[in-house]
Structure 1
Amino acid sequence: MSGVSGRVLVVDDNRVIRQLIRVNLELEGFEVVTAADGAECLEVVHQFQPDVITLDVVMPRLDGLRTAALLRADERTRHLPVAIISGCDQDEVAKGLEVGVDAFLPKPFEPTQLVELVRGLLLPPIDGRPGTGRTGTSQG
């Protein structure tokens, strides 16, 4: 494995999904830490200092949309690109956009889509905000 491409915090309450995302990103050179829900994400984010955060929507204790809102409200994390990886409906996508989510990837997904999404969020900004080299979806 050549140099690390970036640091990703993967947040999902499903252990199998967390591991699937972790393995696919690590194979591409990313350093990955996982959290089981939004509350754990908020505990880990300052220690790990990720370059990108992926969030599931439906999780115990603190769901993905509320977690994204809290990340955006904190000056230490508001700059971090946040992607929702979940089986979102239109209402959840709209709420995600309202709270500042940068990208969405529906489950189930292909590993190449996941890698493209994360790499896209690491591209230089195009509108002054970090992580906005590609926005909205995993498609270019």
Structure 2
Amino acid sequence: MSGWTGVKAGRVLVVDDDEVIRRLIAVNLRLEGFEVTTAVDGEDALGMVHEVRPDLVTLDVVMPRLDGIRTAARLRADPRTAGLKIVMISACAQSSDVARAREAGVDAYLTKPFDPDQLTAVVRGLAIVPH
């Protein structure tokens, strides 16, 4: 990020019930300069989002308690979080899954296994905010 003057990476809330995936996403984003907080499912994320105040949320689709699609829809329905950028990262790769995510208001959809460079490029493109 040394060549990126006048911008900051921003805050990301990473939501995935798989600890290994959660850590992998978080490490890659931290290496790009993002401030990262993690949550284990949609309920956890909704409980944290107002305190963390992220610029972007990554969501898995399949999670216990509250899945990623319903979490995205609830974030979009709340005026305080309606403008959040949302990136879905999921093993669900069928066109119907992507369509459901788009209907819920997701900004980008990546499939697992994901390319870390693609992940950071998508998040960077959506989450960088001017100083």
Fold equivalence (TM over 0.5) = yes
**Helix, strand or coil: the match of 1:109?**
coil
Taking the TM superposition and a 5 Å limit, the aligned residue runs for 1:19-34 are 19-34=23-38
Taking the TM superposition and a 5 Å limit, the aligned residue runs for 1:2-17 are 5-17=9-21
Counterpart in 1 of 2:50?
46
**Helix, strand or coil: the match of 1:78?**
coil
Distance in 2 between residues matched to 1:71 and 1:103, nearest whole Å: 15
**Helix, strand or coil: the match of 2:96?**
helix
Number of aligned pairs?
Answer: 124
Query: Which residue identity is paired with 1:98?
Result: E
Distance in 1 between residues matched to 2:24 and 2:71, nearest whole Å: 21
Deviations 1:77-110 (A, max 9, x none): 0000001000122111111111111100111011
Tell me, which stretches of 5 or more residues in structure 2 are unaligned?
Answer: none
Relative to its length, the structure with more strand (as a share) is: 2
Counterpart in 1 of 2:111?
106
Normalized against structure 2, the TM-score is what?
A: 0.89
Higher mean displacement: 102-111 or 62-71:
102-111
Asked whether the 8 Å contact 2:15–2:45 carries over to 1, the reply is yes
Distance in 2 between residues matched to 1:24 and 1:4, nearest whole Å: 16
Distance in 2 between residues matched to 1:95 and 1:55, nearest whole Å: 13
Counterpart in 2 of 1:91?
96
Asked whether the 8 Å contact 2:9–2:127 carries over to 1, the reply is no
Query: Which residue identity is paired with 2:96?
Result: D
Normalized against structure 1, the TM-score is what?
A: 0.84
Quote the offset at 1:122 in angstroms: 2.2
Structure 1: 4+ residue segments shifted above 4 A: 1-4
Counterpart in 2 of 1:136?
none
RMSD over aligned CA atoms reads 1.6
Find out whether 1:69 has 2:42 as its counterpart. no
Asked whether the 8 Å contact 2:15–2:39 carries over to 1, the reply is yes
